[in-house]
Chains A and B, each alone.
Chain A
Amino acid sequence: MLMEKISRREFLKTSGALVVTFSIASPLAEAATKRAGPAKTVAGDQVDGFIAIDAKGNVTLYSGKVDLGTGVRTALAQIAAEELSVPLEKVEVVQGDTALTPDQGITWGSLSIQAGGMQIRQACATAREALLAQGAEKLGVSRSGVYAKDGRVMVLGSEKGISYGQLVGGKNFQMKVDAKAPLKPPSAYTIVGQPVKRFEIPDIVTGRFTYMHDFKVKGMLHARVVRPAAMKANLLSVDDSAAKKVPGYVATVRKGNFLAMVAKNEWAAIRCADGVKAQWSDWQGLPDKAKLWDYVRQTKVVSDEDFQKVGDSGAAMKTGARMLTATYDFAIHTHGSQGPSCAIADHKNGKLTVWTASQATHLLRKQLGNMLGMKADDIRCIYLGGSGCYGRNGHEDAAADAALLTRELGKPVRVQWSRADEHGWDPKGPPTLLEHRAALDAGGKVVAWESMVFIPNRPKGFEVTLVAADLAGLPKDTAFPGNIHASLAIPYAFPNIKATARWLAETPFKPSWIRTPGRMQNTYANECFMDECATAAGVDPLEYRRRNLKDPRGLELLDRLARLANWTPRKGLAKASGDIVKGRGVSYTKYELVRTYVGAVADVEVNRKTGTVRVERVYMAHDCGQIINPDGIKNQLEGGVVQTVSRTLIEDLKFDRSRVTSLDWKSYPILTFPDVPDVVLDLIDRPTERPWGVGEPGTAVVPSAISNAIYDAVGIRMRSVPFTPDKVLAALRTA
């Protein structure tokens, strides 16, 4: 087993630079705190940035993209092993360490394979070509007389060969990644495309995997941050006399509105935080939740920006025989990681080391430097696997808490957020409002389509404000939620289209990206409205989509989806009687119009009496081009569907005028086992195409498929996520 081997290999000695690093499977903090040698390059244009091969032929892959529970660690190793022609067991992956791994950007947007993996593939192809050339020379044959196999350069038609370890072990490649290095033909693949089992699962199921939360540094203190009683309240006074009596109490750290209790052990830190009496000023700056959408609509507009413009939609809108309008809204969601955020930081001799489950260690380093007035070069951020991360959640904030505290105290500090910290203080998916209108001609064809999404202002950067910097009054970056206008543009060939983002000056909660940011909201509204158009035209909704698509790959996907779900044309309303009524709905998108094709059919049951919606089954056809690991994709799609059914039916952040009030799993419930739908998948593999992303696209089509299925069942349009029983009942009453 690979993991056993890795666990034994506590120290990895790689390349001529004698980089000493640690296995993330090893709990030994002593090993972990060893500094990397200075010569390991992290340059993304250098082969040595990405790979090192030791004398035994073991390959270390340095990945800036990290495994957030998605399986990309294994998939990236598959790509590297395949392109290098080495057995998969020979590849170990080091992830997200600013001292060791290239900055491949944030692990987001379903780009780990599509972007990060392709950089790695090219670096490995460059290395393989160099090894082949060197090997041929050593073996005394021409370059065309050798081939690569199992970590060796072999002479064609003979048993003669030389291992990679003999060729490069103990040395650097010292060459640039060659964008033209030839890639292995997919027909020769033996590792890519296989459902390889994930490396870390044996350790996870036996309690031996070291999560961020499990990691320990010798001599570390434990801290809990005491959060303001209202989001922007000022700290007026602190009485820590009771906390000081807790055995193990070490310090009360107060900096502006940042208040933390530090102790020798974790339970003492919790008791100190419970025992401290803090007085906060009153603050009631949040909008009235009952009027949230009025608030969004009335927020100051910075600008309007069109992201799709075909023909003249304004003029064409007047020519239609029939006009449709609809308004959609999508609630504020929390990430709700199962393990509240956690980090350890150690400030020593002017250098800061941070262990973090951040999806963006390189960016975090920059932000911490900005906050603390340190040079980024004096900060090292090291990734350790955390609890599921579906976007920028609290990990970076916990890291900033710990960094601030270790600098104050001069000792390593572990910060563990509470459940209330996580639910209350992680950045949120912003409230999203969409307005759609369309004109149809007498034959039911769309002659004009216009959409507008109301979202927080267009991003200039990606640095979501660190909570600690904000509270402590230290230099901070400004929060922006990411490219949330994406997927507002539609894949359908209408003659006149306008898709507009209305950029708003503010949003109630610090926004960030949560799985399928913006694309989920935009696709929800687009695909619900597409269904409304189909109904108005009197055409089966799947057929209506097909008629308006010109893209053969999209059409093939819809055909596969129809077969998978055994789709039969929907002829108006399902005319079932009784309290519980079944329906099915369809949805489709080409993600961001430039990548993964995906379609879903949802089967639902609506209880007319209680208003409860139950999603029985979701069929999904999915084309992300070349498949690296089919089981990894299935796992992501199944999980994405379940999580999105939860978001669509249940989830809604609760708050009063001062703060978030849904601070646990009772007040912010998520879908549980008895209500989980079946998921039936059809993966379309195109080995000769480039691979695209997976984690986000599959979820984009889920809310609309459910909404459309509810219409099919009981004839109501659910235009407000989540589809709670009270909203369903209200819609049924007015239907």
Chain B
Amino acid sequence: MAKNIKLMVNGKSHDLRVDDPEMPLLYALRNDLGLQGPHFGCGLEQCGACTVHIDGKAVRSCRFPVGKAAGAKILTLEGLGTPKKLHPLQAAFIEEQAVQCGYCINGMIMQAKALLDSNKRPSEAQIKEALANNLCRCGTHLRIVRAIKRASEMMA
């Protein structure tokens, strides 16, 4: 059943008409709102490439029904910072060059933000634990850990 849905994304309100409220939020963000931060990686909540924040929590948008996201505060990588006004995590990822193909990096940064929101100075082991369910096929892990550590120091 088609439905009108109001989405609050990165501080802006969007009115959407969707054919199926069970459609994962990811498709609304990417195709209806044209966002390019969250990526489709598996559609199975296994890799983390699609991670966004819903009401302050890191959520895998590839299986989260858009209908359930109505009225919630959604934050995507685009809302975190811009090239001119970088969030410390984004700045740290640039500084550490913590990217290979970069397809997973959205999830890495959004998951790391969730970690830093609850633990301002995580240890290396805590960072690795927090990202244990985020996959990177290129093997950028070491740089990602360094970038998150750097970001936590920048934010201190």
A binding-site residues for B, Cβ under 8 Å: 1, 3-4, 27, 68-71, 197-198, 200-211, 213-214, 216, 247-248, 265-268, 271, 336-340, 385-390, 416, 418-419, 631, 635-636, 638-643, 646, 664-666, 670-674, 676, 678-679
User: Is A206 in contact with B39, judged by CB distance below 8 angstroms?
Assistant: no
Q: How far is the CA of A271 from the CA of B38 in the complex (A)?
A: 21
- With an 8 Å Cβ cutoff, the count of chain B residues facing the other chain is 63
Chain B CB within 10 A, most for which of A27, A641, A674: A674
User: Is B39 in contact with A673, judged by CB distance below 8 angstroms?
Assistant: no
B82 close to chain A: CB less than 8 A: yes
- Nearest residue, chain B, Cβ from A385: B101
User: Is B83 in contact with A3, judged by CB distance below 8 angstroms?
Assistant: yes
A641-B46 in contact given A201-B97, A247-B20 (Cβ < 8 Å): no
User: Is A419 in contact with B41, judged by CB distance below 8 angstroms?
Assistant: yes
Of residues 25 through 43 on chain B, the ones whose CB sits less than 8 Å from some CB of chain A are: 27, 30-31, 34-43
Contact of A340 among B40, B80, B83 (CB under 8 A): B40
Contact of A338 among B31, B47, B82 (CB under 8 A): B47
Contact of A213 among B40, B136, B139 (CB under 8 A): B40
User: Is B94 in contact with A197, judged by CB distance below 8 angstroms?
Assistant: yes
User: Is B101 in contact with A206, judged by CB distance below 8 angstroms?
Assistant: no
B138 close to chain A: CB less than 8 A: yes
20 contacts between A and B (CB under 8 A): A69-B100, A200-B99, A201-B94, A206-B80, A207-B78, A216-B34, A247-B19, A338-B41, A338-B135, A338-B138, A340-B40, A340-B42, A388-B103, A416-B40, A419-B42, A640-B139, A642-B141, A643-B139, A670-B135, A674-B132
Residues in chain A near residue B38, CB distance under 8 A: 207
Residues in chain B near residue A340, CB distance under 8 A: 40-42
Of residues 130 through 156 on chain B, the ones whose CB sits less than 8 Å from some CB of chain A are: 131-143, 145
User: Is B86 in contact with A206, judged by CB distance below 8 angstroms?
Assistant: yes
Interface 1/0 per residue, B116-137 and A, CB below 8 Å: 0000000001011101111111
Q: How many A-B residue pairs have CB under 8 A?
A: 195
Since A206-B83, A265-B27, A665-B46 are in contact, a sample of 13 more A-B pairs with Cβ atoms closer than 8 Å, ordered by chain A residue number, is A3-B83, A201-B97, A205-B109, A206-B86, A213-B39, A338-B101, A338-B136, A385-B101, A416-B40, A419-B44, A638-B143, A642-B141, A643-B139
B61 close to chain A: CB less than 8 A: no
Interface 1/0 per residue, B60-90 and A, CB below 8 Å: 0000000000000000111011111010011
Residues in chain A near residue B44, CB distance under 8 A: 419, 664-665
User: Is B132 in contact with A635, judged by CB distance below 8 angstroms?
Assistant: no
Residues in chain A near residue B105, CB distance under 8 A: 204-205
Residues in chain A near residue B83, CB distance under 8 A: 1, 3-4, 202-203, 206, 208
B58 close to chain A: CB less than 8 A: no
Residues in chain B near residue A678, CB distance under 8 A: 142
Contact of B103 among A338, A666, A676 (CB under 8 A): A338
User: Is A69 in contact with B138, judged by CB distance below 8 angstroms?
Assistant: yes
Residues in chain B near residue A338, CB distance under 8 A: 39, 41, 47, 49, 101, 103-104, 135-138
A206-B97 in contact given A267-B20, A635-B143, A673-B141 (Cβ < 8 Å): no
Q: How far is the CA of A665 from the CA of B78 in the complex (A)?
A: 27
User: Is B109 in contact with A664, judged by CB distance below 8 angstroms?
Assistant: no
- Nearest residue, chain B, Cβ from A335: B137
A211-B36 in contact given A638-B142, A664-B42, A676-B141 (Cβ < 8 Å): yes
Residues in chain A near residue B81, CB distance under 8 A: 206
User: Is B42 in contact with A639, judged by CB distance below 8 angstroms?
Assistant: no
Q: How far is the CA of A3 from the CA of B94 in the complex (A)?
A: 13
